[in-house]
Structure 1
Amino acid sequence: MTDAPADAAESVSERHCLLLIDPDQPCCGQLQNSLSRLGYTVTLVHCGLDAIATFDPDKFELVITDLHLPDMGGLEVLRKVKGLSAETPVVVVASDSAVNDVVQALRLGASDYLLKPIADDGVIDHAVTRVAESRKLTQQNRAYREELEDRNREMQEHIELLQRDHEAGRQLQQHLLPRSPYQYPAGIEAAYRLQPSLYLSGDFVDYGLFGERFVAFYLVDVSGHGVSSALITALIKHSVMHLLRERPLFSQLDTIDHDITAVLEMINAELVATNLDKHASMFVGVVDSRARQLHYAVAGQVPMPALVTEEGAHWLPGKGRPLGLFHRGGWEVRHLALPACWRLVTCSDGVLELLQGNLLEKEEMLLKMINASRGDLNSLCAALKVDTAESLPDDIAILTMRQDPVAD
């Protein structure tokens, strides 16, 4: 007996047992020799009943059956084998005059066929090797599909866990935000709209009353999106609260400017120290309700805050570097006398992404919209379509402060 070719042996690697059903002794010997040469251990039976009794899908990787058996048709054997194991390949053997039976066998799930007389062992080699390779490919595809399904299931579980974490983070961030709108003495009202582009926002606002006359507030816009930026907003909130516990801020007129600068310096130092490659723009202001004066500073704020009075809307002047990029920001505290009725509107730069044109055109358009809304938060949000947009390219934060004359 000659050795099997290397490529043939490799093609049936891990294929061990084969069930051969053949009553034709001359052909049977030829098949057995060829199959043994291919590396199979052949179990031979001569009738259909013995074949069904012998077949075990866990043992036999391949079944070869003659279509003409002494006790039942080979097609019936094919049906029963496929009924027991649909994945087990079956090769049928028929005379060259039984083409219709071969066609029917292929329809019933036969993987290939051999026609007698078999003059060339290469025909057997080709058919069996092709079936073995096809079965191996099917098994590999099934294993790959199962692995892919497992990975998809694990990924879905991770996504669901991440979504739950994001939702928890979003609720926590919402809890850190102040109530909106909120009324302060002397007719001052603070309100905001904050819409994250993802679950969490890198924008944040806060405000509070200090003493009986000072309303302090800020809007901060941290670079980037998502969890890391939202964590920075929580850090800023915590840092401001910690500073407030350490010393009284925004309670004395002669220290207001120093307090505003102290807040910016502290947040800048915190961002520089984190080494998270994060920076932020910020607008910090204090309204002195008794003196009707605004104290404020900006740190890289774009667009600038806008003040709306009876004369219309205009951008506030000011300059200062963003927080987290330089050890010194060059921030300056400015003062502005306020009329009896005024509106202050501050937006994060995400608002500009809702508008068309270059930066100057966007800022001009935004100022016109602020003026048309007369600084009213709901009207401005409606004009910008903040609440109705299907998706936002960036986090959106709009903070409004307003004061109307208090009736006697």
Structure 2
Amino acid sequence: MSEFFQRNLQVIEQRWPALAERLLLEDAGALQADLVEGLGSTLSINGIQLTSRHDRLAEADLQAASLPPDAAVVHVYGTGLGDLQNHMLERAGVERLYVHILNGSVFALVLQLLDQSPWLADSRVELLYAGDLAEIQLPFFALPAELVLADDFNAKIRDRLISEIHLAFSNREFDPKAPEIIERLQATFNLVQTDHDVTELFGSFNGREAFVIATGPSLEQHFEKLRELNDQAERPLLICVDTAYRPLINHGIRPDVVVSIDQRISARHLPPEDTGDIALVYLPMADPSVIEAWQGPRYVGYSASPIYHQMRQLLRRGELYVGGSVIHPAVDLAVKMGAAQITLFGADFAFPHDKTHAGWGDGDLGPQLGVAKHWVLDGHGQRVKTQLNFRSYLCELERFIAGHPQVRFYNSSRDGARIVGADFHPEYVQ
């Protein structure tokens, strides 16, 4: 045990004894650690530099500048080499600094190599593992290197941090003044005016069970059982997302409701033939030619997006929750229809079995397996390939589930992402 580690650990044991015990169990020796030199030096972990190798203090100044200058409470995600923590504690107005560990082994290694006791001993500091809390805290700065190095225990918080950081970038496509958005809303205005209000469906399914069907690869495990439901008089309500419609129809499964929100969905995804007994729920950004061709009853609603602000003033319609993916309004519709229990099918948010979607080829719906550089934990506790936007959609679904404790949520498969708040269905989970 190094002199630095003894000094650092002593402070942690005095202030956070339970956390000290956890740190002693971390396997810092499993990390590939290297000294990287430039104008200064830093530590590289598994090929990722924890800080600048030229000027760590200038980097910490830049990071601190992104935080509100008058914030009394600040959250730092990742421990780094302690530079940002020390810088924040120099601010007179900081009353509490929460430091959230994103990788316990990395922090244990740094404790062996560098004196961290000045910031650890400061009475304004609270130290915890990021994964000990279910949600991120604001305002925050997340150290970039440790967003990459985050371990399995803290992965859920990492995903929420990245989603929050990318929020403005993700919303760039939804500018109410964008010509293509104005043109699309003008094209669907008459349809919105004449079609049913989605609120007509609300409360129509009180106390019953709904299946919400997405297009993740695990859906393929359930085609046979879902097809058997077709002949049952008292079967659950089947709500599917637009891209799941064709795979379901191809396997003899007829959903009750299809939900579509994306302007890129075409008749290729939603062929209109023989749809007279299937309801379509859509948002006004959907393709008007697809809406018009649909033979069954059509219901329209809005999301909270500012792109619908003007139309909302002219035409009052109900609202569905959208968190970036069509899975969100599909689940929200089931809740607002009154379902007491919702089972999710194909809600994988990942690429299990080296596939991107059920019933579609690699790249048919956009993402290709070969470009998946990120991971999420599946229901077996193993890492499975995914992409950043899928992780963001997962975060928003988990937040939605947490906000609706009156509904029982189930996941039908362990192969996709673990969905916090959704138990594994005893009948459908393989």
> So what's the TM-score if we normalise by structure 1?
0.20
Quick check: which one's strand share is greater? 1
Rg larger in 1 or in 2? 1
> So what's the TM-score if we normalise by structure 2?
0.19
